Amino acid sequence: MAEVDPAFIQAQEHRPKPGIIKAEGIPFIDLSVISSPNTNSNDPRVLDSLVEEIGNACKSWGFFQVINHGVPLAKRQNIEKASREFFGQPVEEKNKVRRNKEKVLGYLDTEHTKNVRDWKEVFDFTVQDPTIVPASYKPGDKELTKWFNQWPEYPPKLREICEEYAKEMEKVAFKLMELIALSLGLPENRFLEFFEEQTSVIRLNHYPSCPISHLALGVGRHKDDTALTILAQDDVGGLEVRRKTDGEWLRVKPLPNAYIINVGDIVQVWSNDIYESVEHRAMVNSARERFSIPYFLSPAHYTNVQPLKELINEQKPAKYKPFNWGKFSVTRKRSDFQKLDVDNIQIYHFKIPESELAEKLDGALSISK
């Protein structure tokens, strides 16, 4: 990445601003009530308070940070160290596990967001190995295929470290999905059935120092298409969140051993827009490299994503048409290997027009009269 390619340069309106506004309002939530056996977790008032905090954070921000989450610090440190060792190798070594259209997991340094190249390199692996997905993005094709993880020779224990870390992320993710379900007035296990054959991915991110940090982004503006993201970032920081109230970009300050959580597009659809997936991006630094590790919780490939029946009625009709998660995800995967002429598929492509919703509501009101 030493030579500056024009493909990295953002359009004027999307370039980083000179000043940094810190995201002071993003909530910090203490999960000790559900992660520590020594807390008074049997007190329903304590759990109710936690559920309320989660709900408020999802509504107001779509983002929050969690502490006392139960992930052993040593396991986080192990994967952070292994990530640095992997990315510290010559590109020839990293390319031995390079991703392509056939092997979609592993190393890549040419990813695009909104058709602009990101200033980063990544290593992806799935939590379930192999992971079953549709073989084609084409709607009529029913054939399935398997994604297999590619593991490099160095660092020698990378696979073991990553698989151990994945188990910890899964525990936290399921706890959070239970709390989100309760915050929506649903049974705590309402979402868990969707993840029995999950397609979740963990990504190791490396953002090298960037000589054009005023023109490029580590990751361009985007919303996560999955259900939930759990992010570990180092002390360099760089994550920026677009505030819902005014659209201002705010920098999320790293908190030692905390995780940054955001709800994704799938939760937005399941909740019928009660919770919203929020746009965010990653800055790069002219002096320091940055590392981060997101875990993307995703359902089984056969999951049809649609507003949950408990959250819709005649007065609150479904705002989205159902879509198959497997087809949706493999369609989006195409942009990893080619620059598309249009924006990739998004949940708004399945949004029911406001005029149609208004007609349904008018019909329901006339019947009630």
Task: Give the tens place of pLDDT for each residue, 72-117.
Answer: 999 999 999 999 999 999 999 999 999 998 899 999 999 999 889 9
Counts of helices then strands in the chain (DSSP H, E): 8, 18
Contacts of 36 (CB under 8 A, 6+ apart): 68, 70
For residue 363, the model assigns a pLDDT of 57
Straight-line distance from the first to the last Cα atom of the chain, in angstroms, rounded to the nearest whole number:
66
Alpha-carbon span 115 to 314, nearest angstrom: 40
Q: With contact defined as beta carbons under 8 Å apart, do 36 and 240 qualify?
A: no
| pLDDT value at residue 83 | 98
Q: Which residues of the chain have pLDDT under 50?
A: 1-2, 365, 367-369
Phi, then psi, of 282 in degrees rounded to 5: -125, 125
pLDDT attached to residue 365 = 47
Tell me how far CA of residue 234 lies from CA of 12, 17, 214, in angstroms.
28, 22, 21
Length in residues, the chain: 369
Quote the pTM value. 0.93
Q: How far apart are CA 148 and CA 105, in angstroms?
A: 7
| pLDDT score of 260 | 97
Residue 48's alpha-carbon distances to 30, 45, 54, 57, 310, in angstroms, are 13, 5, 10, 14, 20
Reference 209, options 286, 323, 106; nearest CA is: 286
Q: Tell me, what amino acid is at 314?
A: E
* Pair 281, 217: CB distance under 8 Å: yes
Cβ neighbours for 339, distance < 8 A, ≥ 6 positions apart = 112, 115
Whole-angstrom distance, CA of residue 202 vs CA of residue 259: 14
